[in-house]
Amino acid sequence: MGQIADRPDAALAARLDPIVDAALAEGRLAGGVILVARDGAVAYGRAAGQADLETGRAMTRDAIFRASSLTKPIVTAAALSMVEDGTFGLDDPVVRFLPDFRPAWQGETPAIALRHLLTHTAGLSYGFMQPDDGPYLRLGVSDGMDQPGLTFAENLDRISRAGLVFPPGAAWLYSVGMDVLGAAMEQAAGKPLGEVVAERVTRRLGMADTGFAVTDRARLARAYADGPPPRPMGETHVVPFAGLSGIRFAPDRIFDAGSFPSGGAGMACSAPDMLAFLEAVRTGGGGVVSTDTARSMMTNQTGSLPIVTSGPGWGFGFGGAVMLDPAASGSPLPAGAWMWGGVYGHSWFVDPAGGTSFVLMTNTSTEGMSGRLSQELMGAVASWA
């Protein structure tokens, strides 16, 4: 897809710059990159703050970040391209590819389809969505950002032994489903997940800084937890979440080649790469998937199931949530917007009708995902005429 041209909009900058400046001045943000595209050109692009507070290294527009859940839509696109070419089907059972993956529900082992994994309706969970004594914590299930060196086989075994929270298709719950899907993709393709994603998505779109390893450590932003001021994450770090067990980080996991490639949280990415990906989906697939498949990614796939992490008014497509009712949600995003984030400090949305794509990638968890910075920026972009 190549570089997206700049076409700066002064009125948009006047809206966004004070929001970013306040986050920096108040110690809510170490640094970040904000990109807003409309009709195929970058109307706002800013690298703000610092990539490393301790060394004074300035943030740059091509900085690389630990992507956390920005991994999900990219891997989703790779999976859907495999559906298009007949490698597998959305309704294929997971056991076709992972015969030993059989988590139970009330003593039975119901069939989980690949579609369930893609839409977080499989009955799986995340460790950070459970209390300290939850089965994922007891069994040491990785959420894809901790436990460097843990293999696919071992984590799948732990997930399977933990069992299901509900029968497949009965509810929606944010989960390790994308990690299980990544393992199934490897088996179906006969090659590592990183190669699958590179062949089907990142190389086609020129996303040279996106993958399950860091292409240039000199441009990697240091990871921080919320302050103020932002606090550097150590070898392991737990960020509180909703009074549950907390989100577990191991920032150096991405340097350990023995770590399983987490389809839900394991990639590194830059903001220009992420914008190129979102623009490809918005404009019809970018040669990665067909126009119909790209449209399906931005269309609700979960019926009336409540999207518990987002609240009322939302559905879930492939790779992100879909705004169904702005009034019910209380969100400034318009109906039809497709969005998600990442716990290392990121957020994004696409407004297909308005021709707009927004990317915020920061090195500050969770301010960049769900804090004032992300909420105020998204609101300002959504209301930009």
List the catalytic residues.
69
Q: Which of 38, 44, 74 is nearest to 340 (CA)?
A: 74
DSSP 8-51: --HHHHHHHHHHHHHHHHTTS-SEEEEEEEETTEEEEEEEEEEE
Question: Are the C-beta atoms of 361 and 270 separated by less than 8 Å?
Answer: yes
Q: Amino acid identity of 3?
A: Q
For 59-147, strand residue ranges (E) read 64-66
Residue 93 Cα to chain centre, angstroms: 24
Secondary element (H or E) of residue 279: helix 271-282
Q: How many whole angstroms separate alpha carbon 340 and alpha carbon 319? A: 8
- Looking at residue 314, the DSSP 8-state letter turns out to be E
- Looking at residue 216, the DSSP 8-state letter turns out to be -
Tokens of 371: 């804090």
Question: Are the C-beta atoms of 201 and 288 separated by less than 8 Å?
Answer: yes
**Dihedrals φ, ψ of 215, to 5°?**
-75, -30
Tokens of 70: 């920005």
Distances (CA, A) of 336 to 103, 132, 298: 34, 36, 7
Q: How many whole angstroms separate alpha carbon 238 and alpha carbon 111? A: 34
Distances (CA, A) of 347 to 32, 36, 340, 365, 371: 11, 12, 6, 11, 10
DSSP 324-368: S-HHHHT-SSPTT-EEEEETTTEEEEEETTTTEEEEEEESEETHH
